[in-house]
A and B are shown apart, each in its own frame.
Chain A
């Protein structure tokens, strides 16, 4: 039995080589997390997204004003300069702004906003302001930040064409713009896994019919398809219902790519020996699907989904921008940009384009997170 003894020594050596016990007992998700954390840009993006979503969740609290409250005299007022040093040259620890004084240009009759340097309006945290109901439940009038004088208006990112605070509206707009991606992708995910799974699992004629449908859908250019579908939505519908149907419209195309991926994965995985082994073990179809097939490509699907969210956000923004998506009084980044269509805006009130910055940042962040997830999703490729 010297052979057995040899075998044992070989093994103890092999085990000793693999010193890092932590890696050895790490589950797939732990490995994914470790790989993801190495992707610095993705981690930063994830933090940015976390920030964006917390702002969206606590919009009433974060936004300094009511999104519909307008001040006619402040129509198209530019952003305030936040100051620490007063005209006399004294430094103030607490930042302050000078209120605007509106005059008219005597030649063009254009409104000119001049800062009134005699008045200082200090900023503050947790200030009293417009009353609101957080999530329609908790009544309050405390805002995260704002001017200490509740009647004065802080113009952080400027005012819009009817004198509403743009920053406030961007904060409220993030609710729709950021969630439409999630809801849309969740719907695509559901449809994609269901239909793609059926296609891959049943194969044969079902598979062929589903694949032809997917091909036809994908052959249609998305924007005209979305336009056609959204024109069909009645304009007198309440905001929530329109929102829901816009999501469905965006998902009509979104699910196809996920269905394809799922189908391909099903086909590939069914050939894997461990799936065959599970079938021989006596595992039922459902057990095979839920314990073997789905976990094997879930990480990959999640990475795909993260990359699909920006597409949804852009879709909503584009539709709303051309006036076919959400309509005022709904607030989304696309609706806000709709205001910025006139050339006059570009020339005189460029801050109305600021929602674009938020669209760009959130989409970049999603893309980086998706990149990081995709790289990390197959932790076994390098182990």
Chain B
């Protein structure tokens, strides 16, 4: 199954290559903490994050998208697998094998934005302290004056008034707080920013502002984003490529437009049909309502994890786990799906017209 994906280090544009990433959590019970099971939060995930692109990781709650992002930055150590990180033409390094000191250096280039801006900023610190903290820890500033200057620049970068740097987070709204979090993430001039549901906790109107800001910053600073989200409308606007996760596995990955107009996995089809559609002209597209709950990663069904909820499932699906397979011809942009019948099923996406109207609207 990995044949289809280029081996680590050979992907020309890959800044991060995730290979066979696995994260299991043991289920323990009783006084002696006997292990009675495994939660397969991330189960054999491989993908490339290309330099300068935005890759969205989407899926339902509990599908392992956040765990994947945490395993990339080594906030949680993966059970198995490799995460290769490369800047420019240097040799890729495997983050999973790194010691704490080296990891500290690598993390200067991979930064994280959290979902909840109310919990991710220390209420006991001023903006100057919050945003300046990474600069201080990494010894990037010599004096307090330099720190103030750098933090002011960062505040300007995220379109906040630099005169507010002595304020505490409680003085700011959710959207403003998320800007502060972005400023902190950018303080060390990183290459990659992992945005873990960075706009999910915000009002819709504020979401648009933050998304625009992220796009502008990407253009200005040449950032690469790994965008973890469950909102397909947000992803459609933001992402170049999309990886759909279900029960700890990537079930489909491809260019955003291709994946939205022409999905190759029944789960992707269901997700797309569930996304609210603001355009009255195309309102009548069929809605696929999934039955049952999302698969329990502690007790996965055999075969394809999605088969109990899949309306196209056949006997084969219950027995064999489908590998992630390349569907597009050589030379075309890659589009992979993990479905036995990916090339046979004709699945409904959204019309190309709808996609462009949405983009314009956003």
B114 x A277 contact (CB < 8 A)? yes
A277 x B184 contact (CB < 8 A)? yes
B76 to chain A, nearest CB (A): 10
B276 to chain A, nearest CB (A): 22
Q: Which residues of A contact B (CB under 8 A)?
A: 3-4, 6-8, 10-11, 14-15, 18, 23-28, 272-274, 276-283, 287, 292, 295-296, 380, 383
In the assembly, what is the distance between CA of A295 and CA of B216, in Å? Answer: 36
Per-residue interface assignment for chain B, residues 188 to 228, with 1 indicating a CB less than 8 Å from any chain A CB and 0 otherwise:
00000000000000000000110011001000000000000
Instruction: Give 10 A-B pairs besides A272-B119, A281-B107 with Cβ atoms closer than 8 angstroms.
Output: A24-B167, A25-B167, A27-B126, A274-B119, A280-B73, A280-B107, A281-B134, A282-B108, A296-B123, A380-B123
A28 x B209 contact (CB < 8 A)? no
B120 x A274 contact (CB < 8 A)? yes
The 10 closest A-B pairs by CB, nearest first: A24-B171, A273-B120, A282-B104, A273-B114, A273-B119, A281-B134, A274-B122, A24-B167, A282-B137, A383-B170
Query: Please, could you name 20 A-B residue pairs with CB atoms under 8 Å apart, sorted by A?
Result: A3-B208, A4-B212, A4-B216, A7-B209, A10-B209, A11-B160, A14-B173, A15-B161, A24-B171, A25-B167, A25-B168, A27-B126, A28-B168, A273-B119, A274-B121, A276-B75, A277-B120, A280-B73, A292-B124, A380-B170
In the assembly, what is the distance between CA of A277 and CA of B113, in Å? Answer: 8
In the assembly, what is the distance between CA of A232 and CA of B107, in Å? Answer: 58
Q: Which residues of A contact B176 (CB under 8 A)?
A: 11, 14
Mostly, the A contact residues are helix
Total A-B Cβ pairs within 8 A: 87
Q: How many residues of B contact A (CB 8 A)?
A: 39
A370 to chain B, nearest CB (A): 22
B107 x A27 contact (CB < 8 A)? no
B287 at interface, CB cutoff 8 A: no
In the complex formed, the residue of B with least CB distance to A279 is B75
B159 at interface, CB cutoff 8 A: yes
B residues 29-70 near A (Cβ < 8 Å) are none
In the assembly, what is the distance between CA of A272 and CA of B216, in Å? Answer: 29
B111 at interface, CB cutoff 8 A: yes
A292 x B168 contact (CB < 8 A)? no
A7 x B134 contact (CB < 8 A)? no
B112 at interface, CB cutoff 8 A: yes
In the assembly, what is the distance between CA of A156 and CA of B108, in Å? Answer: 72
Q: Which residues of A contact B212 (CB under 8 A)?
A: 3-4, 7
A378 to chain B, nearest CB (A): 10
In the complex formed, the residue of B with least CB distance to A12 is B161
A287 x B168 contact (CB < 8 A)? no
In the complex formed, the residue of A with least CB distance to B135 is A281
Q: Which residues of B contact A26 (CB under 8 A)?
A: 168
In the complex formed, the residue of B with least CB distance to A273 is B120
Q: Which residues of B contact A295 (CB under 8 A)?
A: 124
